[in-house]
Amino acid sequence: MQPKSQLRPEISTHIKRTWRNVRKDFSAGGVAYRMRDDGEFEFALIATQGGLRWQLPKGSVEAGERPEQTAVREVQEEAGLQTEVEQFLKTIDYWYWDTYRKDPPALVHKQVVFYLLRTVGGELTDSSIEVDGVGWFTPEMALAILTFTGEQEVVQLSIEALRGRGQDRA
């Protein structure tokens, strides 16, 4: 017999309305970019889950913190980069099962506010315990390697914003 935590129904509208243990999470993250010498730009991504999941740095908004501050802090903590906020990009939301030490699992509705961040210092590093790898990626590579569709959409908005400003030669 499976423990209750392994019995996770598909997250349907009905489950969203009726599941007893539902939690709302609010996070912020950043699309950190840098300009290369050739005038092109690259995005910083982090890997988690043993390097299997590539994503944007993000984390929970702490008490008294504005989402923009959270985005800058999380990029610093997870990727080692110092950044400045350039613009709001998009809020994404999704649902998932939190099974860590929960029986039955908690259903989580997460909202993440993303900002375009210009890298102004620091060094890209995977020294955070939460991160398994880091890298700079061209726009095309970033779109191809990102695990989550919502984050791909955020990066696409970043590309459009940067190219619209003439931030690369493309």
Residue 7 falls inside a structural domain: no
Residue 9 falls inside a structural domain: no
> Alpha-carbon distance 119 to 129, whole Å?
22
Residue 90 falls inside a structural domain: yes
| 3-class DSSP assignment, residue 1 | coil
> Alpha-carbon distance 32 to 117, whole Å?
5
117-132 pLDDT, tens digit per residue, is: 999 999 999 999 999 9
Whether residue 56 is predicted with pLDDT greater than 70 in this model: the reply is yes
108: domain range? 24-164
What is residue 105's predicted lDDT score, i.e. its pLDDT? 87
Interval 1-19 mean pLDDT: 76
Band (102; pLDDT cuts 50, 70, 90): confident
Average pLDDT, the chain: 92
Residue 60 falls inside a structural domain: yes
Among the residue ranges 40-49, 99-108, 130-139, 142-151, the one predicted with the least confidence is 99-108
Residue 111 falls inside a structural domain: yes
Residue 130 belongs to a domain with what CATH number?
3.90.79.10
What is residue 34's predicted lDDT score, i.e. its pLDDT? 97
Residue 55 falls inside a structural domain: yes
> What Å distances lie between residue 60 and 17, 67, 91, 94, 166, CA to CA?
24, 9, 14, 15, 33
Whether residue 167 is predicted with pLDDT greater than 60 in this model: the reply is no
Number of domains in the chain: 1
More confident call, 71 vs 170: 71
Q: Cβ–Cβ contacts within 10 Å for residue 126, how many?
A: 17
Residue 80 falls inside a structural domain: yes
> Alpha-carbon distance 35 to 4, whole Å?
49
Residue 75 falls inside a structural domain: yes
Q: What percent of the chain has pLDDT over 90?
A: 84
